[in-house]
Chain A
Amino acid sequence: MLEIFMRFRRSHEFWLAMVILLLCIILTVATDSFFTLRNLSDLLTSNAFIGILCAGLIVVLVSGGIDISFTATATVTQYVALTIANAYGATWVTLFLMAGGIGIVLGAINAIFIERFKIHSIIVSIATLNIFYGLLIYFTRGKYIYTLPDFFTTGVNFFEFEYDQIPYSLNLQILLLVGSFLLTWFILNRTNVGRQIYAMGGNPDAAKRLGFSTFRLNLFVYCYMGFIAGVASLAQAQFAQSVAPTVLVGKELDVLAAVVLGGASLSGGVGTVLGTFLGLTLLALLQNGLVLIGVSSYYTQFVTGAVILISVSATALEAARQHRLKRARA
């Protein structure tokens, strides 16, 4: 037990958790509005879209690949699924089946280009980002959808209760956010496919030699990313109460920033679901906290950038120090 704790103390996640804790303490002391149910609920709801995508992207990074195309995938899934729902009617189940299914198909396209043509995932996903997005806007002429099915507009609200005359509930965004993180955690840590993904990311040649089917694994990874993009797109559309085909593309680097801040490595095999969640939390808290303590919202991005830059520099310096220590001990 002690050993597990000691191991955790040396980990990236520990430092992130400490920074977040410190930030929470400062914000709680400095403002009245931070540590309130209202703010925490808003925080989760408004960060759900980015957060859900993080839960997909960590799988891709662990596998040793990268995906940039998921915002375009989300745009397509949300537009097509809700257009069909408007035209032919749908239920929650069929809506999610459609969005998830389209996401899986688009993910499979990525995987096939990557595996069959042996093109690196960064090139493939930059290309498919443009292809998916360009074709969608071309065929839809970029029209927004403002009328959505009634059940969708209402959303879901479990465990409704009132506190200080404000209604609270477990809404769609929070449910999907928590659900996708749990699902990703379960896949990566509790299924053999998840462990194979870690193994492939750590040493792809060895994975091939040991008889792992890298095609099937990559298919799984990119289809999962597509599926998650479909789920995230519905959370976003329900939150925005509309479908705006041009607002999602461009957010891919925000998602990437949260995941790498959480300790995932771009060279594969490294990264945890907990770390990803903490990275996401740190960025969300920063933006929220700056607004609460009265920093102009125009400057939140500046501070976010500074935090990213300082944190990646500190991590690199710490890694160099550890390296030196290791040699001195040897």
Chain B
Amino acid sequence: MAAFLQLTGISKKFGGVQALRDVDMTIEQGEVHCLVGENGSGKSTLIKIVSGVQPPEPGGKIVIEGREYASLAPTESTRAGIQVIYQDLSLFPNLTVAENIAVGRHLGGLHLVKWAAIRAAATQAMRRIGIALDLDAKVEDLTIANRQLVAICRAIAADAKLLIMDEPTASLTRTEVNSLLGLVRELKAKGICIVFVSHRLDEVLEVAERVTVLRDGRKVGTFDARDVNDKKLAVLMTGKEFSYDLKSVDLSNKPVVFEVEALTRTGEYDDISFNLRAGEILGITGLLGSGRTELALSLFGMTRPDSGTIRIDGKPVTLKSNQDAIEAGIAYVSEDRLTLGLVLDQSIAANATVTILEKLAGRLGLIDPKDRQIMVDRWVKDLSIKVSDTENQVRTLSGGNQQRVVLAKWMARKPRVLILDSPTVGVDVSAKDGIYEIVKRLAEEGVAVIMISDEIPEVLYHSHRIIVMRSGRFTGMHNPTKTSEHDLMVAVNA
């Protein structure tokens, strides 16, 4: 079979940074190909070159169905049948499903809108992949999974021959991922090539035929999907071996600091009870929509449970707001670091001290800049945050260092209970260990930790006990030394 797309010797420099170095890649006709790599490995740059957003350095060669290009213009890329579905889907929330799918018909000079043609094109695209959404529904009213279908339909309507999907499974539930993978098989059967860019490897390996791994802008290699698994890929992506040993720790002599009894909030979670000892790390895992984040938000006082009790040191507490929760010694690291965890446009120092502003204020309620700096420097050193200047915007840091700033601002409060929601999302594989180390150290210092994650190895290798959540309920308690990734996977997806 001939190749649909052949890239030879692709390089790209941004300023002094070599984002891509001499990368070759081939996409065969009708192939499902997976592209993996850490943040900054050059994945997105490669996509941008293929979609024509960025030109490669001279010397590279792009061949699409036998036609050779030195670089592509966005329109050339589209005309050749290359469609990219970005992680944010690039849909228009205020327009209807039909308009979003057939948006290409809005382009061009001044002409009248042919509504009938738009509806026909949208219907046809949906029929091709066997779905039927309401044509007149606004995209903002759809679920994330349905929005993704609209984005796929838009690519189909634009005669896609190669569909590049950037992190398509990141915000889908398992059922939704399954139907997406089913859809991918169907598209493949119709002769459309698919490139998956993903970090949730286990899922994608189910449908992919080949995997290309990038590291630091270089290609590590292309592998047959049957020959690799996610552990092997992690090693290829990072160049490091990871091994965790599980030790059983006896915490029965430690006091119970945090108790939750029959906590219920209708439509979110139901009859949740557990207790937590000082120094204990409790893993909670479950799928998106299982109620894990909703539970965390209530424990942090952001939402009010309908019934049930929360006790700290045996005393019942009512959390009217997250200020109450923080006052009671509870800290919460959100899964959404970029919009809820940090204020990206403000400085590292400002973010690290936001939780203790009132405490920093001295005489006359004024904050002494020197005191503030001492505090900031202490946490930067303590958590080994790599910064050149603490007055720089937090945005300038890498994912791992950003997460350390989040941890710093909570450690400044000396919390009794630390709730971590997906603490290593968007953190490079090689930087994850650093975060785990900090969590472990905090627990040893006596903080009770709740670690919520949908990455099973994360909870398995870093908690003392694991609770599985499904449809808003706790379905079982597991001991990490007596269970396995496979068993937990089964429990989560049951």
Do chains A and B directly touch (beta carbons under 8 Å) in the complex? yes
**B104 contact set on A, CB distance < 8 A:** 210
A269 and B110 in contact, given A192-B105, A211-B75 (Cβ under 8 angstroms): no
With beta carbons under 8 angstroms apart, the residue of B107, B110, B113 that contacts A212 is: B107
A195-B99, A203-B91 known; A209-B111 Cβ under 8 A? no
Of the residues A198, A327, A330, contact of B95 by C-beta under 8 Å: A198
Within 8 A of A (CB), among B47-88: 53, 74-75, 78, 86, 88
Contact A196 B106 (CB under 8 A): yes
Report how far A193 CA is from B111 CA in the complex, Å.
8
**Cβ contacts B86-102/A at 8 Å (1 or 0 each):** 10101111110001000
Q: How many residues of B contact A (CB 8 A)?
A: 27
When the two chains form their complex, are residues B113 and A192 in contact, meaning their CB atoms are under 8 A apart?
yes
Contact between chains at B90 and A203 (CB < 8 Å): yes
Is B108 in the interface zone, CB < 8 Å from A?
yes
Complex Cα distance, B118 from A187, in Å, reads 17
Contact assessment for A199 and B95 in the assembled complex, using a CB-CB cutoff below 8 Å = yes
Contact residues, A226-270 vs B (CB, 8 A): 269-270
Q: With A192-B110, A211-B78 in contact, is A202–B105 under 8 Å at CB? A: no
- A interface, over-half SS: helix
A190 interfacial contact with B, CB 8 Å: yes
Contact A190 B112 (CB under 8 A): yes
CB-defined contacts of A330 to chain B, threshold 8 Å:
267
Whether, in the assembled complex, B266 has its beta carbon less than 8 Å from a beta carbon of chain A, the answer is: yes
Counting CB contacts under 8 A, is B103 at the interface? yes
Q: Are A328 and B110 in contact (CB under 8 A)?
A: no
A201 touches B (CB below 8 Å): yes
User: Which chain B residues lie closer than 8 Å to A212 at the CB level?
Assistant: 107
Interface residues of A in 303-330 (CB under 8 A from B): 327-330
Which residues of chain B come closer than 8 Å to A327, judged between CB atoms? Answer: 267-268
Closest chain A residue, CB of each to CB of B266:
A328
Whether A209 contacts B93 by the Cβ 8 Å rule is no
Contact assessment for B108 and A269 in the assembled complex, using a CB-CB cutoff below 8 Å: no
* B91, B106, B112: residue with the most chain A Cβ atoms closer than 10 Å: B106
Interface on A for B, CB 8 Å cutoff? 7, 189-196, 198-199, 201-203, 205-207, 209-212, 269-270, 327-330
Q: Provide a sorted-by-A list of 5 A–B residue pairs whose CB atoms are within 8 angstroms.
A: A201-B94, A202-B95, A206-B90, A209-B86, A211-B78
Interface residues of B (CB under 8 A from A): 53, 74-75, 78, 86, 88, 90-95, 99, 103-108, 110-113, 136, 266-268
Q: A206-B91, A209-B86, A328-B266 are in contact. List 16 more A-B contacts (CB 8 A).
A: A7-B136, A190-B113, A192-B106, A192-B110, A195-B106, A198-B92, A199-B92, A199-B103, A202-B95, A203-B90, A211-B75, A211-B78, A212-B107, A327-B268, A328-B267, A329-B267
3 smallest A-B Cβ distances: which pairs? A206-B90, A202-B94, A269-B94
